[in-house]
Amino acid sequence: MESTHFSRFLFLLLAAGILILFACANFPTYLPPQPSPRLSSRCSASSSSSSNSSACKSRKIAGILKQPPNPTAESRRLRHESATPQHPLDPLTIQELNKVRHVINSHHLFKSPSSSAVALHTVVLEEPPKSAVLRWSPGDPLPPRKAFAIARSGGDTLLLSVDVASGELKADRASDSSPSGYPTMTVEDMTSATWAPFASADFNRTVTDRGVELSDVACLPISLGWFGKKEEDRRLIKVQCYSMKDTVNFYMRPIEGLTVVVDLDSKDVIEIVDKGRHIPIPNAANTDYRYSAIKKNQRLDLVNPISIEQPKGPTFTVTGDHLVRWANWEFHLKPDPRAGVIVSQARVKDPETGEMRSVMYKGYTSELFVPYMDPTDAWYFKTYMDAGEYGFGLNSMPLDPLNDCPRNAHYMDAVFAAGDGTPYVRPNMVCIFESYGGDIGWRHSESPITGMGIIEARPKVTLVARMAASVANYDYIIDWEFQTDGLIRIKVILFLGVLDI
C-alpha cells in the first residue's frame, strides 16, 4: 500500500516538473524595470545602514518610475534665447524683453540726470485686438508685437506701451486714468521689505527685549490695504516677523503684536507698533513639516506607489510651445506673472458638423481675495489680494515631476522680467497632462427584464493644465481641466481645501 502511494507521488511530481519546464520555455519572462546605476550604487553602498533603508527604497521607486528628461540650466537658456513667437498671443521672448528694457532705459523720461531709477513692475505682451487675433491663421505674418509695462519712477506710476519692432514708446501717468492704486509688488520689493526693519535700531531693540536673537528672525511683507488719508500718496507695506529658532516652519512662531510700517519706495521704517509683549512665542516642538524631520516611528508610506500607464504615449500635442491640442479641444496656453496662466482661444469640435466652436476667448485668475476679518491691531489690515499684490506667476514654484505632475506630463517654462527689466526663466512652471482617476465619463445599461444585455461605459479622461504658487504659507494649485463633453473646470486648490469653479 505504501509503495502505491509513493508511486503516485513520484508521478505527480514528475508531471508538475514537466508542466513548469513547458511554461518557462513557451511564455515570455517579465523583468521589472531596473533603477538607474547611479541610484543602485548609492543604495548598495548605504544598504548596510538601517537608517538609510527607507530613503533607498524611495530612490529605487523613483528610478523605476520613468522620470522626464531634465534639461540643464544652460540648455534652457540657449533654447529660450533663440525662441521666436509663433502665435499672436505668445508671451514676450528673451530677445524681445531685452529690446524693451533697452528702449525704456534709453528713453528721455528715465535717462535724464534728474530722473530717478526706474522699476518695472509688469512687462508682458500687449495683446493685439481680438479681431486681429481671430483673423490670423498659421502662416500669416504676426500682428505688430508690443509690450505693456508698468513702471515706477520718482514716485509716479507710468503705463508704457513699447513697439518691439520700431522701438516707439508711449507713456501715460496712471494717475491720469486711475485715481488710486499701485502696481503688483516686484520680487525685489518683497525681498527689500523683509530686510528694511533691521535698519531700525528701535526695531532691533524691541526684538532683543523679547529674548529673540536677530539672527533667528524672519520677516514677511503683509499687504496694507487702505485705512485713511495718512496713507495717501505713499506706497506702504506692513511687515511682521517670526522666530526661526529650532524650526523651518517659522509661521508657527510669530512674534505676535509686532508690526512695522515700511515705505516701499524709500525703504524707510515709518512706524513700529508693539502691543504683544505679553504674548509668548509658541514652542518649536513638532512644527517641522519636512519628511526628513517627522518622527521615524510615524508611518508615512501608507499607500503603495501608483502610476498611470499610457502605452501609446500622451494624446495631446503642444505646437510652438503654447498651442495645445487634445481630443476635441484646442487652446493657447501661456504663463503670466500676475495670473499664473492664461488660457486663450479655447475651442471644441462640434460632434455633428466637425467645426471648431469657440468656448472662451480668454480666461485667467483675476484675483484671489483673502480677508482675515480679525479686528485686533495685528490682524485687521490683513486683506490679501494674492494675485494682484503678490502675483501668482512671480511666486510660482517649479513643479516636481511624479509628485506635482504624473508621468507623461509636458512641462512649460516661463520667461518673466525682473524689476530692472532683465529677463529670467522660471523652469517647469506649468505642466500639462491627461488625468484619469477611475471616474466614469458616461454609462448606461439596459434592465435585465429587457433581455437586451447592453452595458455601455466610458472612462472619464481629462486634460489638466497646472501651476503652483507659494504665497507665504499658502500653497495654491491652479488647475484648468478640459473634459471631452465641452466643459472647462477651473480649480483653485489650497492644501487645506478646494475651491471648485
Domain co-membership, 355 together with 471:
yes
239 found inside a domain: yes
439 found inside a domain: yes
Domain co-membership, 226 together with 170:
no
User: Which three cell numbers, joined as nine digits, stand for 106?
Assistant: 534709453
- Which of the residues 90, 386, 413, 479 is marked catalytic? 386
Domain co-membership, 445 together with 351:
yes
Q: Which residues contact 257 (CB under 8 A, 6 or more apart)?
A: 273, 274, 275, 276, 277, 279, 377, 378
Domain co-membership, 191 together with 253:
yes
22 found inside a domain: no
Number of domains in the chain: 3
pTM for this prediction: 0.81
Domain co-membership, 101 together with 203:
no
Domain carrying residue 228? 187-288
- Spacing of C-alpha 407 from chain mean position: 17
386 catalytic per annotation: yes
Domain co-membership, 149 together with 191:
no
φ, ψ of residue 300 to 5 degrees: the values are -110, -25
263 catalytic per annotation: no
Domain co-membership, 244 together with 146:
no
User: Which three cell numbers, joined as nine digits, stand for 371?
Assistant: 480677508
Pick from 145, 177, 209: which residue ends a domain? 177
Q: What is the pLDDT along the chain (501 residues), one digit of tens a residue?
A: 445 544 554 454 455 554 444 434 343 333 333 333 223 333 333 333 333 333 333 333 333 344 555 667 777 778 888 899 999 999 999 999 999 999 999 998 887 665 668 899 999 999 999 999 999 999 999 999 999 999 998 888 899 999 999 999 999 887 665 556 789 999 999 999 999 999 999 999 999 999 999 999 999 999 876 666 777 778 899 999 999 999 999 999 999 999 999 999 899 999 999 998 889 999 998 888 887 777 665 766 778 888 888 888 899 999 999 999 999 999 999 999 999 999 999 999 999 999 999 999 999 999 999 888 898 888 888 989 999 999 999 999 999 998 899 989 999 999 999 999 999 999 999 999 999 988 888 889 888 888 888 889 888 899 999 999 999 889 999 999 999 999 999 999 887 544 444
Q: Which residues contact 413 (CB under 8 A, 6 or more apart)?
A: 76, 80, 335, 425, 426, 427, 428, 429
Instruction: Find cell 514708446 and name the residue.
Output: 169
- Which of the residues 274, 288, 424, 474 is marked catalytic? 474
User: Which three cell numbers, joined as nine digits, stand for 145?
Assistant: 508685437
5 found inside a domain: no
How far, in Å, are 66, 306, 411 from residue 303 at the CA level?
19, 8, 27
Q: What stretches of 48-186 show up as alpha helix (H) in DSSP? A: 53-64, 73-81, 94-106, 108-111, 130-135, 174-177
Q: Which residues contact 188 (CB under 8 A, 6 or more apart)?
A: 119, 418, 419
CATH code: domain of residue 232 = 3.10.450.40
Domain co-membership, 350 together with 481:
yes
